[in-house]
């Protein structure tokens, strides 16, 4: 008998509205265990709202999101925090905590009010900070760190939370190129045992690291599948209204796009006349 596919997250007929404005419409997808998923799409396509529903920051309708076959609404917050960790977009860290304090917060679902951190907690925190290259920042005030350093500390907190599902909303937006690649390499390494669902704006990095990609537009999933199935000239034109050159990444054969500037094309026509 064939073993059924294992899903970390199941999304069924998900809709979501802010007041009278519908943001998400009829989202259906199953996220498999230990896969790397990227969500791409233009601004305003519903990517962040989708992540917030998956993390229950925004509460979805009943039975529209299942975490390990259980309705997300039925989870208590502390119970859900042992299943799913989240790195939100644009978190403001303007308070008097060290970087170590912030990462230790990732252990709070496992520690009762009267307990303090044990050796296991400290080991997980140190490992998470070393993996994100933030251990050397542990004694620094979080508000004194750069945006990129703060972002890496928040990702370390999510890793220290020791969940099987990690949601990330634009995790590399404040990072320079070196730290973007370093961080995505780390996440991909952890992906052997963790389901990763992340919003990315860089389509080439999404293609390079993802097992599957979701392309969203106007609150709907327009295309989903492998990078080769989703990153196509037709899809990019339809969703981003942009023509691109589509190449193969020489290191892994994944699709690599080069945008065609409309202004440069117009200049070529001008110079040709």
Write the pLDDT tens digit of every residue in 155-183: 999 999 999 999 999 998 888 899 899 88
**Residue 59 tokens, joined:** 């509460």
Domain spanning 1-83+163-230 has what CATH number?
3.40.50.300
CB distance 27 to 84 below 8 Å: no
Residue 66, strand partner residues: 10, 71
The string of pLDDT tens digits covering residues 110-157 is 988 777 888 899 999 999 999 999 999 999 999 898 888 888 999 999
Q: So what's the pLDDT on residue 243?
A: 93
Report domain extents, the chain: 1-83+163-230, 96-161
Whether 221 shows a pLDDT value over 60: the answer reads yes
1 pLDDT band (50/70/90 cuts)? very low
Distance separating alpha carbons of residues 193 and 32, to the nearest angstrom: 12
* 3-state SS string for 72-132: HHHCCHHHHHCCEEEECCCCCCCCCCEHHHHHHHHHHHHCCCCCCCCHHHHHHHHHHHHHC
**Above 60 in pLDDT, residue 249?**
yes
Residue owning tokens 């989870």: 75
pLDDT mean across residues, the chain: 90
Give residue-wise pLDDT tens across range 195-209.
999 999 999 999 999
The whole-model pTM stands at: 0.89
């Amino acid at each position: 008998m064939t073993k059924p596919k294992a899903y970390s997250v199941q999304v069924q007929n998900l809709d979501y509205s802010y007041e009278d404005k519908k943001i998400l419409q009829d989202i259906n997808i199953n996220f498999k265990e230990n896969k790397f998923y990227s969500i791409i799409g233009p601004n305003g396509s519903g990517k962040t709202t989708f992540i917030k529903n998956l993390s229950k920051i925004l509460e979805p309708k009943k039975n529209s999101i299942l975490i390990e076959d259980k309705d997300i609404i039925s989870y208590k917050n502390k119970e859900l925090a042992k299943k799913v960790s989240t790195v939100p977009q644009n978190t403001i860290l303007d308070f008097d905590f060290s970087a170590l304090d912030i990462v230790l917060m990732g252990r709070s679902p496992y520690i009762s009010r009267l307990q303090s951190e044990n050796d296991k907690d400290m080991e997980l925190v140190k490992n998470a900070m070393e993996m994100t290259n933030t251990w050397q920042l542990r004694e620094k005030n979080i508000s004194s760190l750069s945006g990129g350093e703060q972002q890496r500390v928040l990702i370390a907190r999510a890793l220290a939370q020791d969940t099987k599902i990690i949601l990330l909303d634009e995790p590399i937006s404040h990072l320079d190129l070196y730290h973007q690649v370093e961080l995505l390499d780390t996440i991909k390494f952890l992906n052997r045992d963790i389901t990763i669902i992340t919003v990315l704006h860089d389509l080439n990095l999404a293609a390079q690291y993802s097992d599957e990609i979701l392309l969203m537009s106007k609150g709907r999933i327009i295309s989903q599948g492998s990078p080769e199935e989703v990153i196509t000239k037709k899809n990019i034109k339809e969703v981003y209204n942009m023509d691109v050159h589509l190449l193969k990444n020489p290191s892994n054969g994944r699709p690599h796009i080069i945008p065609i500037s409309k202004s440069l094309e117009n200049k070529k026509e001008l110079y040709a006349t």
